[in-house]
Structure 1
Amino acid sequence: MNKDIILLRTVEVAAIASYKYIGKKDKNLVDKAAVEAFEVMLKNEKGFILKVINGEGELDNAPMLYVNQMLGDINNPESPIFDVSVDPIEGTNPAAYNFAGSISTIAVSRENTMLQMPEMYMEKLFVKDKYVNTINLADGIVNNVLKMQEQENRKDLRCIILDKPRHYKIIEELNKIGVIVRLIQDGDVLAAIDVVNGEADFVYGIGGAPEGCLMASLAIASGCKMQSRLVLYNEIWPNEEETKTRLNKELAWMSKHNIDTNTILEDFDLVSDYRTRFFAAGLTAGGSLKPISYKKGKFFVNAFMASHGIVRNFNTVYDVNKVNGLKPDIKYLFDKYKR
């Protein structure tokens, strides 16, 4: 079967498996269901192999979807290998407490084209296609916004930014120069989908570095643009017990890759493949991606795909009884995670 259909179905089924735990106030259950769905859907697929480059996280010692795990047709030496970055559920906390901001997502590219990112912070600027040649993150976010405003000849650009204390000063500055700011609690990958779908002009903020590969893939696949730079843990959490340990790991990784916190990383530095593909499905979602719903034995899933500058938004219906009769792997998940 076509690899794209398999990956699209994987994120959709991961959202369906996690649906049971929306609002249950346990983000670990949300994540566990999605991780198992990914594993079940991908571990035995034929015709290709997926290598996890950015997965469940090196700090968590994840038993599944861990970095360098191989999925798919692993016993066939002729199967092509693809790199993947995966976030089974971006926004487990929004899902656990039933507010907007959670999706299931995966990005794929040719072998050895995806950069394995450390578990650290990253400053990211993701802009719509009109600003591909406008931005330069080295100039600072305000100067970039002023250039975009000048290009548009208007001030009321629409920005999405995480509502975190580290962004409060920037939010104030953006408001002063006329930007329409939409605050979110979680989910800068989801926010980037909104930019692609025309719901916002840009996303800015300091979030997770591994998610940067997902956003880079989305930027390349959709014809948009992302620039980023790494941010040391002690800049965000200077007084935490784990700060020193994490800082040492971060510095070692940056030295190995000849990258420092002044290095501006283009999207192509993170995913060096113009044929990269990006997939997502809404859980509690928000913005242009709608939340999953269930009614009378059917799941209604809103999904998204981007590749080669082509953007697709899907409305998919999973009729549980019909699917159970045709797909035993999905039936297993439907039975285990039925509402």
Structure 2
Amino acid sequence: GCLQVLPDDGYYFKVAADHHALGKISLEMPIEEIVRTLADAKGLPIENFTVIMLERERHVEILQKLRKIGVRIILIPDGDIAAAVATCIPSSGVDLLIGAGAGPEATIAATAVKCLGGTMLVRVWRDKGDDPKRLVRLEAEGVDVNKTYNQDELAMGNELVFCASGVTKGELLDGVRFIPNGAIVNSLCIRLPSGTIEKSETQLRFKEHPIYKHFLS
């Protein structure tokens, strides 16, 4: 297919941003330089620049660097796919996703980011606590452990669709809301080449639904 799905074996370092980052940042740059380059490209003072990242122990060093720079920081318990997409939606107020997360999620996020004309950069995250055989396993599955993958390599092709529904409330979508005899679900659909963003709210009636009616029993 047209998706390069990275194996779910350890973590991958990810950076996501909107179109202002195209051709301007790389993972060879220090984190401070990535932030300043993107802030300059967007015409934002550092104190108004917002970085979103997973709240994880592995990110302590990155977090210290970001705090020293003086950017705004949003720490999330999970959901770096939604966080990556949020960087490409101006109304979100999020400018940059940075940090390490799972591989399959990187591919899913790259699909949405590409649909919105943004930048997604991903490479294998190396940690002292890694299984020494991990890199060998990744190479056996076709992963270049020294390469930085971008959105065009993770999500190839010019006709792509990204769809998501919210389960719990996040940066991108509201979570499921239960109502008497049913629930309300918020969903999002993004398409390439148009870049169209569609949001919908679906009201499910459990009593009449062939599957969901069992929730009432």
CA distance in 2, matches of 1:265, 1:247: 16
> Which AA in structure 1 matches 2:148?
I
1:194–1:289 CA contact under 8 A, matched in 2: no
Q: Which residue of 2 aligns with 1:58?
A: none
2:82–2:109 CA contact under 8 A, matched in 1: no
2:207–2:216 CA contact under 8 A, matched in 1: no
Q: Which residue of 1 aligns with 2:45?
A: 154
Superposed counterparts of 1:256-271, under 5 Å: 256-257=142-143, 259-261=144-146, 263-271=147-155
> Which AA in structure 2 matches 1:237?
G
2:16–2:119 CA contact under 8 A, matched in 1: yes
Q: Which residue of 2 aligns with 1:174?
A: 66
Q: Which residue of 1 aligns with 2:4?
A: 115
Give the superposition deviation at 1:338.
4.5
> Which AA in structure 1 matches 2:190?
A
Give the superposition deviation at 1:244.
3.8
CA distance in 2, matches of 1:223, 1:148: 15
Q: Report the TM-score, using the length of structure 1 for normalisation.
A: 0.58
Q: Does 1:319 align with 2:213?
A: no
Q: Which residue of 1 aligns with 2:137?
A: 249
1:213 to 107, 111, 119: 107
CA distance in 2, matches of 1:135, 1:271: 19
Inter-CA distance 190–288: structure 2 relative to 1 (3 Å threshold):
closer
> Which AA in structure 2 matches 1:214?
I
1:277–1:306 CA contact under 8 A, matched in 2: yes
Inter-CA distance 193–297: structure 2 relative to 1 (3 Å threshold):
farther
Q: Which residue of 2 aligns with 1:277?
A: 161
Inter-CA distance 206–273: structure 2 relative to 1 (3 Å threshold):
same
Inter-CA distance 124–186: structure 2 relative to 1 (3 Å threshold):
same
1:166–1:236 CA contact under 8 A, matched in 2: no
Q: Report the TM-score, using the length of structure 2 for normalisation.
A: 0.87
Give the superposition deviation at 1:172.
1.4
**Runs of 4+ residues over 6 Å off in structure 1:** none
Inter-CA distance 277–310: structure 2 relative to 1 (3 Å threshold):
same
Give the superposition deviation at 1:317.
1.4
How many residues get paired? 210
Give secondary structure in 2 for the equivalent of 1:219: helix
Give secondary structure in 2 for the equivalent of 1:137: coil
**Greater relative contact order (Cα < 8 A, sep 6+):** 2
Q: Which residue of 1 aligns with 2:77?
A: 185
Give secondary structure in 2 for the equivalent of 1:204: strand
Provide structure 2 residue ranges, at least 5 long, that are not aligned to the other structure. Answer: none
Instruction: Give the helix-richer structure, 1 or 2.
Output: 1
Q: Does 1:196 align with 2:61?
A: no
CA distance in 2, matches of 1:118, 1:295: 39
Q: Does 1:130 align with 2:26?
A: no
Larger Rg: 1
Provide structure 1 residue ranges, at least 5 long, that are not aligned to the other structure. Answer: 1-111, 325-330
Give the superposition deviation at 1:122.
0.8
CA distance in 2, matches of 1:337, 1:225: 41
CA distance in 1, matches of 2:16, 2:216: 37
Give the superposition deviation at 1:212.
1.0
CA distance in 2, matches of 1:305, 1:321: 27
1:138–1:264 CA contact under 8 A, matched in 2: no
Q: Percent identity?
A: 22
> Which AA in structure 2 matches 1:119?
D
1:292–1:301 CA contact under 8 A, matched in 2: yes
- Write out per-residue CA displacement over residues 246-267 of structure 1, whole angstroms, 9 at most, x where no aligned residue: 44312423xx45x123x11111
CA distance in 1, matches of 2:12, 2:213: 39
